[in-house]
């Protein structure tokens, strides 16, 4: 048994940031517990290696949803990172802070956008944008995709033709509009939480990182969290905490760990043979994710990943260029440009994201499959930014090694389906603009014959999948369904906080990596009195 001032569970985006910031104060000892390891696999550093990582078994929790009733009862692959850096080491690296209006709408003290902006700036180091909005010397290096390419430029011009404004910096003063994507990369390599936070901190004497340790439970003494029990090398070991335990295992595993510790819906816990420490009905509820629908197009006069990956010589030259120059498609994500736009009538926030993917594949988003079409092609991915339907994550058994039951409940609200249909129609409108004519796009999935709302709905139900953005399962706020307060303390428990995407009351209307790091920064500020 060892004792620390602070114990952080999970070395993902929030946990890495929290542990690194807490360990900056030499007065305190910090233990960071991670189920994965510091994996040296080179594909975890190469940005486009995401295709290799997400279709394999290494460095992943290979989770699946339960059959989704509104997606023809399909089970959806939900991988999460099991490695130093967590999902930030296996994700698409898109750096998106989120819609400022969304944070303001939470109406929680300290979580409005003006309060968050200094921390967003503190997190990043970038030459992009206005220094009043962007950080210049933070731990996370952020770059814009480049060099520019004709297909991406054509897509942006087409977005303009469809009535969308250009926006060179969606992380600046304006959120909506079309522009090149920004990624957390440095010198053509992934620069996630592992590289940004853990690498600089791991040699500190007051920080211990415990790898390949699966947390079994958090133990309470009365109403106070006092220790964490882990299984490592087949043996249980317990680590006690003088001050606070910070749960940062993500929107899937944080509610799972709370339930294993007896914090959750009392009847559900008793049914699994778990002694109830605190009846907190909101644990595991409120799950949201962005539902991704991708249209595929055959094209001409464009170099896409289809031609490269299906030709051994071009593939070799493609890799050689990356090794020499660290640029091009291998240095970025699987999408190059995007548009944040409003599809609903009337004024308001953008409600839809379109992304250009320089590839097409019938199985591009399926677990264990990435078969590129044999012809030049691209995809336009769509997802509604603010889904209304909520799902849940709960224990399926009291075995800590067993995966939880995930029910995303995609399209469980009629407005979500309406927005998804609108996204497909908008993608088609962009592809039909004169600016795309040079590429001769021909829609092959779902195809031009799928015109009615019912036909488009059928395509969505058959093919749509996750955007890998689960949030909301330990919602921040007040009331019986809230799990943590605005200072991220678990209601009814002393010495226990949550610092990951599970605390978001709604979707940040964005990819979730940057907001998750923000939560880790915030919890450290709360604890160290810097708020």
76 and 62 Cβ atoms separated by less than 8 Å: no
The Cα–Cα gap between 133 and 150 comes to 29
304 and 359 Cβ atoms separated by less than 8 Å: yes
Instruction: List all residues 6 or more positions away from 274 whose beta carbon is below 8 Å from its beta carbon.
Output: 259, 260, 262, 395, 398
The Cα–Cα gap between 473 and 280 comes to 12
295 and 424 Cβ atoms separated by less than 8 Å: yes
The Cα–Cα gap between 502 and 485 comes to 13
DSSP E strands: which ranges in 10-103? 30-33, 60-64, 77-81
| Residues forming beta bridges with residue 381, ordered by sequence position | 294, 355
The Cα–Cα gap between 474 and 476 comes to 7
Residues marked active site are found at 469
* Alpha-carbon distances, residue 458 vs 372, 419, 463 (angstroms): 23, 14, 9
Element (H, E) at 285: strand 285-287
The alpha carbons of the chain give a radius of gyration, in whole angstroms, of 22
Residues 139, 130, 111, 89: is their CA dihedral positive or negative? negative
């Amino acid at each position: 048994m060892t004792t620390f001032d602070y114990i952080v569970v999970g070395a993902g985006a929030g946990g890495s940031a929290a542990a690194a910031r807490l360990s900056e104060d030499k007065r305190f000892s910090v233990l960071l517990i991670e189920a994965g390891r510091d994996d040296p696999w080179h594909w975890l550093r190469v940005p486009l290696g995401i295709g290799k990582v997400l279709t394999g078994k290494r460095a992943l929790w290979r989770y699946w949803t339960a059959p989704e009733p509104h997606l023809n009862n399909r089970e959806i692959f939900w991988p999460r990172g099991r490695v130093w850096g967590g999902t930030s080491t296996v994700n698409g690296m898109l750096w998106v802070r989120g819609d400022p209006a969304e944070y303001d709408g939470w109406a929680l003290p300290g979580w409005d956008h003006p309060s968050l902006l200094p921390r967003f700036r503190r997190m990043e180091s970038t030459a992009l944008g206005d220094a009043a909005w962007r950080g210049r010397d933070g731990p996370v290096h952020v770059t814009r995709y480049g060099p520019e390419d004709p297909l991406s430029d054509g897509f942006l011009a087409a977005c303009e033709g469809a009535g969308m404004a250009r926006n060179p910096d969606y992380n600046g003063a304006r959120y909506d509009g079309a522009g090149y994507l920004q990624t957390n990369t440095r010198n053509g390599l992934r620069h996630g939480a592992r590289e940004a936070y853990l690498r600089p901190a791991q040699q500190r004497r007051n920080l211990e990182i415990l790898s390949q340790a699966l947390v079994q439970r958090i133990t309470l003494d009365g109403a106070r969290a006092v220790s964490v029990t882990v299984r490592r090398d087949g043996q249980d070991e317990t680590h006690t905490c003088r001050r606070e335990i910070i749960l940062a295992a993500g929107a899937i595993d944080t509610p799972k760990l709370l339930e294993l510790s007896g914090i959750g819906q009392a009847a559900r816990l008793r049914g699994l043979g778990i002694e109830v420490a605190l009846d907190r009905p909101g644990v595991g509820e409120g799950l949201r994710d962005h539902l991704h629908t991708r249209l595929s197009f055959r094209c001409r006069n464009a170099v896409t990943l289809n031609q490269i990956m299906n030709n051994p010589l071009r593939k070799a030259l493609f890799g050689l260029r990356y090794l020499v120059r660290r640029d091009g498609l291998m240095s970025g994500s699987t999408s190059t440009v995007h548009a944040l736009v409003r599809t609903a009538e009337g004024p308001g926030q953008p409600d839809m994201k379109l992304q250009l993917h320089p590839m097409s594949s019938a199985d591009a988003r399926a677990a264990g499959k990435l078969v590129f079409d044999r012809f030049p092609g691209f995809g336009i991915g769509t997802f509604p930014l603010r889904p209304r339907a909520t799902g849940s994550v709960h224990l399926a058994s009291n075995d800590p090694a067993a995966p939880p039951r995930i029910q995303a409940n995609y399209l469980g609200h009629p407005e979500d389906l309406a927005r998804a249909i609108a996204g497909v129609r908008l993608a088609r409108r962009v592809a039909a603009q004169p600016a795309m004519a040079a590429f001769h796009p021909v829609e092959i999935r779902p195809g031009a014959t799928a015109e009615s709302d019912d036909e488009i709905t059928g395509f969505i139900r058959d093919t749509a999948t996750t955007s890998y953005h689960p949030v909301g399962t330990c919602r921040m706020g007040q009331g019986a369904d809230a799990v943590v307060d605005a200072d991220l303390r678990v209601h009814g428990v002393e010495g226990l906080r949550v610092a990951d995407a599970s605390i978001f009351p709604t979707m940040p209307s964005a990819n979730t990596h940057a907001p998750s790091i923000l939560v880790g920064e915030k919890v450290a500020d709360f604890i160290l009195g810097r708020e």
